[in-house]
Every structure is written in C-alpha cells, then in structure tokens.
Amino acid sequence: MRVRAIRRNDHSPRVEMLPLIDVVFLLLTFFIYSLVMMHYLHVVPVTLAGQIGPDMDVDQPIYEMTIDRLGRVLLDDQPLTEAQFDARLRLMADERPRPRVFVILEDRSEADRGPVLMRLQTRLSEAGVNYAFVYRGEQPPGAEPAP
C-alpha cells in the first residue's frame, strides 16, 4: 500500500497592507472633498401645522400673500408699498372672524427672499393674523399629484 504525502506550504498567512492603505487614503480624500462642498445653513425652527383645510371656518376671509421671484410682497396679486401693507395688515387684524393668510413662495427665485420672509412672518405674528405657508412651483418628476 502506498502512502500519499501531504503537501504543506512553508508560507505563513500574512496581511497585505498596501490595499488597506489605498482604501484609507481614498476614504480620507472623499471626506475632505465632501467637507469642502458642505454649506452650513442657520435657520429658524418652524412648527408646521397638520392639515389646514378642516379647521377653517366657511365664513373666514382668505387672503393670498405672494413673495415673488424678485422678493416683492404681493397681496392678492397686487404690489403694495410699505404704508399700504401696514394699513391692510391693521384691517386684517381687526376683521371678525379672523382672516387666514396664505403666504405663497414662488420657486426659482432671482433674489434672496429669506429676510423678506422672516420680516413678513414677524409682522403677521405681531398683528395676530393666522397664516400658513404654501409653495408654488413645478411638481418634481415622479411625484404624486396633490389631492
């Protein structure tokens, strides 16, 4: 009977360091580039209402304020001066039942509308007017149509 010899390698297993170093440098490069491209935004927290339809009174007056692409504030599609805006805001605050104002933001702005939006929100809150934000823009591709 013949006995088979078992082949044994004298090479012990080892860990290759070069691929590990390559991966570490790739990850380091990725994180450096992603950090450079980040934008830090300082925003004010906003509490969003649930549904705005069912809690509205049928007789409640509704106004539409639009912040257009140029950063102008329009009330029912009419541009207003500061004095006209203040007068209309006082009239809205005195109306009974309280009116509801929908603040509409048009998409693709050509100006920074952040300060305009913050000032408008502050003035509406100080006047005690109920308001809600609405976004008017193109529907993204593949999005479900609104009910």
pLDDT number for residue 61: 80
Share of the chain above pLDDT 90, in %: 8
Distance of alpha carbon 61 from alpha carbon 64, whole angstroms = 10
| Mean pLDDT on 109-117 | 78
Q: Report the 10 Å Cβ neighbour count for 73.
A: 19
**Helix, strand, or coil here: 63?**
strand
pLDDT score at 147: 45
Domain ranges of the chain: 62-136
d(CA 26, CA 136): 42
The strand ranges marked E within the chain are 62-67, 73-75, 78-79, 100-106, 130-136
Residue 64 has a pLDDT of 86
Q: Which two tokens stand for residue 57?
A: 């009174």
DSSP-assigned beta bridge partners for residue 40: none
For residue 24, give the H/E element and its range: helix 18-36
Write the pLDDT tens digit of every residue in 63-79: 888 887 777 888 888 88
Q: Is the peptide bond before 99 cis (omega within 30 degrees of 0)?
A: no
Give the mean pLDDT of the chain. 76
